[in-house]
Amino acid sequence: MKIRPGVHNRMAILLLAILLLAKGAMAYAEACSTQQHRQFDFWLGDWDVFDASGQQVGRNHIFSVLDGCALSENWTSASGNAGKSYNFYDAAENKWHQTWIDQQGGALYLDGGLQQGKMVLSGTRLGKNGQATLERITWTRLDDGRVKQHWQSSPDKGATWAEVFVGYYQPRKKDNNN
């Protein structure tokens, strides 16, 4: 079989194009696969959420989106209120961000990162009176497979802290009704 000179060149160009596309696809797939991008993966899952007294206060479904570049949170409280957040690692800033919004229009913007094995995110928001309040939420993976969420608030730039919420995320048991 004879290969015409023009065909050989076109085949080489096609092969080179395929290799470059494959390399680009691999780089894209690896864009969010660093160790830092995986730091919050312990929060992934379907969870029943309980307060410190053991009463169920809601359910949360956290899943990976955008090829592992972000976590999507879908919260439903026991009373039916709902909220969502996106959480992602920003390599340029070397920190994690969370953007939260609920069905009443409440918003929260948090930044931070892993500190001694705990994900700690904080941010300032204005209250209805216009006063700035510092919010800090810490997520801790527990040895029994649960995740503890500890939300604190400070009206004085971190000099004192008040507890807003302590919740325990327990892997949700599958049943025929859910």
Note whether 50 and 2 are same-domain residues. no
Domain count within the chain: 2
The answer as to whether 4 is a domain residue is yes
Note whether 88 and 13 are same-domain residues. no
pLDDT band for position 174 (50/70/90)? confident
The answer as to whether 133 is a domain residue is yes
Note whether 19 and 64 are same-domain residues. no
pTM given for the model:
0.81
Q: Is the pLDDT of residue 27 over 50?
A: no
**CATH code of the domain in which 56 resides:** 2.40.128.20
Note whether 140 and 159 are same-domain residues. yes
Under 8 Å CB-to-CB from 63, ≥6 apart: which residues? 44, 71, 72
Contacts 24+ apart (CB under 8 A), 66-70: 66/32, 67/28, 67/29, 67/31, 67/32, 68/32, 68/33, 68/37, 69/31, 69/32, 69/37
Which of 12-16, 34-38, 150-154 has the lowest average pLDDT?
12-16
Note whether 54 and 130 are same-domain residues. yes
Note whether 86 and 142 are same-domain residues. yes
Note whether 7 and 62 are same-domain residues. no
Note whether 116 and 41 are same-domain residues. yes
And the tokens for 142? 């527990």
And the tokens for 116? 């001694």
Helices (H) and strands (E) in the chain, counts: 1, 10
Note whether 106 and 20 are same-domain residues. no
Q: pLDDT digit string (tens) for 138-169?
A: 999 999 999 999 999 999 999 999 999 999 99
Which of 22-36, 40-54, 91-105, 126-140 has the lowest average pLDDT?
22-36
Instruction: Give the domain extent around 26.
Output: 1-30
The answer as to whether 128 is a domain residue is yes
The answer as to whether 137 is a domain residue is yes
> Which residues on neighbouring strands pair with residue 125, listed in sequence order?
133
Note whether 23 and 40 are same-domain residues. no
Note whether 23 and 41 are same-domain residues. no
The answer as to whether 139 is a domain residue is yes
Query: Alpha helix locations (H) across the chain?
Result: 5-30
Note whether 17 and 91 are same-domain residues. no
